Amino acid sequence: MKPIAAIFDMDGLLIDSETIALRTFQMICDQHQLGDQFSLYQQLLGTNDATTLIILSNHLPAAISVEAFMQDWMSLYEEQTLTAVPLMNGVLELLDYLEASGIPKSVATSTRTELAHSKLSNSGILHRFTHVTCGDQVDNGKPAPDIYLKAAQRLQVDPARCLALEDSPIGVTAALAAGMQVIQIPSLVQPDAETIALGHKILNDLHEVIHYLEGR
């Protein structure tokens, strides 16, 4: 079934913010002499603030205040994303293609509303989307389907006719649970066997999404 609407994740899919998030996360880890924590960061991909706090509380040493760790990380991260965050490869071309095809577009991101709008605006693409649905606008964050269902509702499109574009396994799980068609474009983390077994389409970049849609 050909999709009639497209819903984008943001971080690591539209903008190259995951690289900044990982770098600043590791900087805070280094301050606490925690060593390389890339494996822990992988568990945070696609999660909202509440879920991130839970994961950190389960993995950080008891002597570290999770709230202070999170605040220090977010302050450093937001400081480094005040200016334009680079777009991911193929973003503008795919947006142009969808607009030429009359396909409405929205964003579904775990990021809170104020920060999401700021990052999209600074990167020059906020105006390209009909709606931006954020993690603080739903009761349950990814991997629950809530954010994708709300995004589809705002577009007034059946979720089954929506194409969800994601980079993280958590986001893929959320979109599939919402009943959407899903394409994953991995960024920092390549899909493991469990993710591949979900049966969705996996492509290398957003340029390939155009070729895929042209062949539908």
Give residue 48's pLDDT: 86
5-16+85-214 is classed in which CATH architecture? 3-Layer(aba) Sandwich (3.40)
Cα dist from 210 to 28, 36, 93, 206, 213, whole Å:
38, 37, 8, 7, 5
Q: Point out the residues that are catalytic.
A: 9, 11
Give residue 94's pLDDT: 99
Cα Rg for the chain, rounded, in angstroms?
17
pTM of the model: 0.91
**Which of these ranges, 3-7, 190-194, 199-203, has the smallest mean pLDDT?**
190-194
174 within 8 A of 147, measured Cβ to Cβ: yes
Q: What are the residue boundaries of the structural domains of the chain, listed by start?
A: 5-16+85-214, 17-80
188 within 8 A of 14, measured Cβ to Cβ: no
**Which of these ranges, 20-29, 81-90, 128-137, 165-174, has the smallest mean pLDDT?**
81-90
